[in-house]
Amino acid sequence: FYLTPPQVNSILKANEYSFKVPEFDGKNVSSVLGFDSNQLPANAPIEDRRSAATCLQTRGMLLGVFDGHAGCACAQAVSERLFYYIAVSLLPHETLLEIENAVESGRALLPILQWHKHPNDYFSKEASKLYFNSLRTYWQELIDLNSGETTDVKEALINAFKRLDNDISLEAQVGDPNSFLNYLVLRVAFSGATACVAHVDGVDLHIANTGDSRAMLGVQEEDGSWSAVTLSYDHNAQNKHEVERVKMEHPKSEEKNLVKQDRLLGLLMPFRAFGDVKFKWSIELQKRVIESGPDQLNDNEYTKFIPPNYHTPPYLTAEPEVIHHKLRPQDKFLVLATDGLWETMHRQDVARIVGEYLTGVHHQQPIAVGGYKVTLGQMHGLLAERRARISSVFEDQNAATHLIRHAVGNNEFGTVDHERLSKMLSLPEELARMYRDDITIIVVQFNSHVIGACQNEE
């Protein structure tokens, strides 16, 4: 069984999406030029999610990847909801009031986010009312709190993450009279998701990370070579600080049971996550909710199963670690990706592959004749060669697709091997998950001119 190159391409490109920040005739004032994103499923259905949106009432752009486990319900909910929580957390008091007044009097709401979605990135219609009500409660509380201080992005991100996780938990405890929704909120709460979110506003880049997805900055050195700067900490057993944290939060007596086989309580790979109430609720609460819940939930062995050595919940948190980075002109791009990518590729290779791809496509040095003696024939040959380079080597129109092609198809020499690519992509569904994980990638390209100009102003 062999896939032809066009078949391979159609699989790789099925989920690709690109967004260019609209230019006003070369006067793009955003520090973001645009982004490319893509997903390659291994699970069926895929458990990864991605989101991207522009904040309309404040400045900045939000991008995130979400890696679900125990189903996709939680990742789906987080991908729909988290950015609203973040955007609301960032809103000044007056805007919140204006929005609340609009809702109160039934007027049209100010739009908060401009989403940039692939057609496959769906939003749940049924739950929108429920989600909206929770969000509204959140902003009402923010209005009542009115600290009067300007919103700190780091704090806003942390609050948003925690609040959303709290709402997910609460909605599952309260339930919903509609049986479909009731089952949905329970599935969301009992499944889990990690999140790695970037907020870019001018030269200020914030990364909020919960779990083991990762953000990586691609930096072009003066000699033109590429290096990687990681802007997030993985929350898993390989992170000593994380293991320490978990141990600190629980009595000494539990220490040896907390992390087993590199997993939290011997079960969970990420040490921080949304949902996963099995690691957060008390045993009594879990039992009560499951018993009063729908039959499907009762029949599910996984949800009924209580983790061993479960004494002092919560063991898990959705609180992110936030890293702030001031963008510099040499910071050319940001890669957000779920662990599916980082398992197969070293960050240094990621930086190089994306860097070369982006410069090849967009920054081929212009030719100038200057004072040289060049004949028409020579110039023609040179131009034909440059053209060929663009069209054949870089057949991908999307940096994320290009990266996936390498992640899945790279041979030992670090070049894409079509045969390998074909094999990996033609694996039957049930086998695919054993050879690779879901991969979700967002590549954000920065506008060095704007960043340079911002720097000079500061």
Partner 1 sequence: AAGMFLRLLSDVRWRAANPKWRRMTCCRRSASSTAEPHPVSLPAQAQVVICGGGIMGTSVAYHLSKMGWKDIVLLEQGRLAAGTTRFCAGIVSTARQVSIELKMADYSNKLYQQLEQETGVNTGYVKTGSISLAQTQDRLISLKRIASSLNVMGIPCEIITPKQVAQLHPLINIHDLVGAMYVPEDALVSSANVSLALATAASRNGVQIHERTSVSHVSVQKGCVAAVETDRGEIKCQYFVNCAGQWAYELGHSGEEPVNIPLHACEHFYLLTHPLKEPLASNLPTIVDPDGRIYIRNWQGGILSGGFEKNPKPLFTEGRNQLEIHNLQEDWDHFEPLLSALLRRMPDLEALQIMQLVNCPESFTPDMRCIMGESPAVRGYFVLAGMNSAGISYGGGAGKYLAEWMVNGYPSENVWPLDLKRFGTLQSSRTFLRHRVMEVMPLMYDLKVPRWDFQTGRQLRTSPLYDRLDAQGARWMEKHGFERVKYFVPPGKDLLDLDQSKTFYKPDWFDIVGSEVKCCKEAVCVIDMSSFTKFEISSTGDQALESLQYLFSNDLDVPVGHVVHTGMLNEKGGYENDCSIARLSKRSFFMISPTDQQVHCWAWLKNRLPDDSNLTMEDVTWKYTALNLIGPRAVDVLSELSYAPMTPEHFPSLFCKEMSVGYANGIRVMSITHTGEPGFMLYIPIEYALHVYNEVMNMGQKYGIRNAGYYALRSLRIEKFFAFWGQDLDAFTTPMECGREFQVKLEKGMQFVGQEALLEQKQNGVYKRFTMFILEDHDTDMDLWPWWGEPIFRNGRYVGKTTSSAYSYTLERHVCLGFVQHFDEKTGEELVVTTDFINQGEYEIDIAGQRFQAKAKLYPFSSLFAQRRRKDEVELSGYQRE
Q: State yes or no: residue 22 binds partner 1 (CB under 8 A).
A: no
Is residue 64 within 8 Å of 86, Cβ to Cβ?
no
Q: State yes or no: residue 56 binds partner 1 (CB under 8 A).
A: no
Q: State yes or no: residue 377 binds partner 1 (CB under 8 A).
A: yes
Q: Which is nearer to partner 1, 120 or 364 (CB)?
A: 364
Nearest distance in Å: CB 17, partner 1: 24
Tokens 């522009």 belong to: 54
- CA–CA distance, 59 with 454 (Å, rounded to integer): 15
Nearest distance in Å: CB 439, partner 1: 33
Nearest distance in Å: CB 447, partner 1: 18
Binding-residue pattern over the window 314 to 353 for partner 1, x denoting contact by CB under 8 A: ----------------------------------------
Q: Which is nearer to partner 1, 261 or 391 (CB)?
A: 391
Q: State yes or no: residue 371 binds partner 1 (CB under 8 A).
A: no
Q: Which amino acid is at 202?
A: G
Is residue 115 within 8 Å of 52, Cβ to Cβ?
yes
Is residue 32 within 8 Å of 21, Cβ to Cβ?
yes
Q: State yes or no: residue 25 binds partner 1 (CB under 8 A).
A: yes
Burial of 138 (0-12, 13-18, 19+ CB in 10 A): buried
* Candidates 319-327, 374-382, 391-399, 414-422; binding stretch for partner 1 (CB under 8 A): 374-382
For partner 1, the binding residue among 108, 248, 369, 434 (CB under 8 A) is 369
Outline where DSSP puts E strands in 202-287: 204-210, 214-220, 226-230, 259-260, 263-264, 274-275
Distances 63 to 53, 83, 264, 334, 370 between C-alpha atoms, Å? 7, 9, 28, 10, 43
Total site size for partner 1, rule CB under 8 A: 19
Tokens 């629980």 belong to: 250
Q: Quick check: bond before 314 cis, omega within 30?
A: yes
Nearest distance in Å: CB 135, partner 1: 36
Binding-residue pattern over the window 123 to 162 for partner 1, x denoting contact by CB under 8 A: ----------------------------------------
Q: Which is nearer to partner 1, 148 or 370 (CB)?
A: 370
For partner 1, the binding residue among 366, 413, 434, 457 (CB under 8 A) is 366
Nearest distance in Å: CB 402, partner 1: 21
Nearest distance in Å: CB 384, partner 1: 7
Q: Which is nearer to partner 1, 368 or 434 (CB)?
A: 368
Q: State yes or no: residue 383 binds partner 1 (CB under 8 A).
A: yes
For partner 1, the binding residue among 102, 306, 384, 393 (CB under 8 A) is 384
Q: Which is nearer to partner 1, 20 or 287 (CB)?
A: 20
* Candidates 24-32, 279-287, 402-410, 414-422; binding stretch for partner 1 (CB under 8 A): 24-32
Nearest distance in Å: CB 27, partner 1: 7
Is residue 85 within 8 Å of 142, Cβ to Cβ?
no
Burial of 377 (0-12, 13-18, 19+ CB in 10 A): exposed
Q: Which is nearer to partner 1, 381 or 414 (CB)?
A: 381
Q: Which is nearer to partner 1, 22 or 428 (CB)?
A: 22
Q: Which is nearer to partner 1, 25 or 457 (CB)?
A: 25
Chain centre to alpha carbon of residue 5 = 29
The DSSP bridge pattern shows strands 32-40 and 204-210 to be unpaired
For partner 1, the binding residue among 29, 374, 388, 393 (CB under 8 A) is 374
- CA–CA distance, 336 with 232 (Å, rounded to integer): 10
Is residue 386 within 8 Å of 392, Cβ to Cβ?
no
* Candidates 45-53, 84-92, 257-265, 368-376; binding stretch for partner 1 (CB under 8 A): 368-376
Q: Which is nearer to partner 1, 27 or 252 (CB)?
A: 27
**Residues in CB range of 375: below 8 A, 6 or more apart:** none
SS (H, E, C) 127-142: CHHHHHHHHHHHHHHH
How many other C-beta atoms are found inside a 10 Å radius of the C-beta of residue 328? 15
Q: State yes or no: residue 449 binds partner 1 (CB under 8 A).
A: no
Nearest to 435 by CA among 423, 445, 443: 423
Nearest distance in Å: CB 424, partner 1: 35
- CA–CA distance, 438 with 45 (Å, rounded to integer): 10
Chain centre to alpha carbon of residue 173 = 27
Is residue 274 within 8 Å of 192, Cβ to Cβ?
yes
Q: State yes or no: residue 386 binds partner 1 (CB under 8 A).
A: yes
- Binding residues (CB under 8 A) for partner 1: these are 24-25, 27, 364, 366-369, 373-377, 379-380, 383-384, 386-387
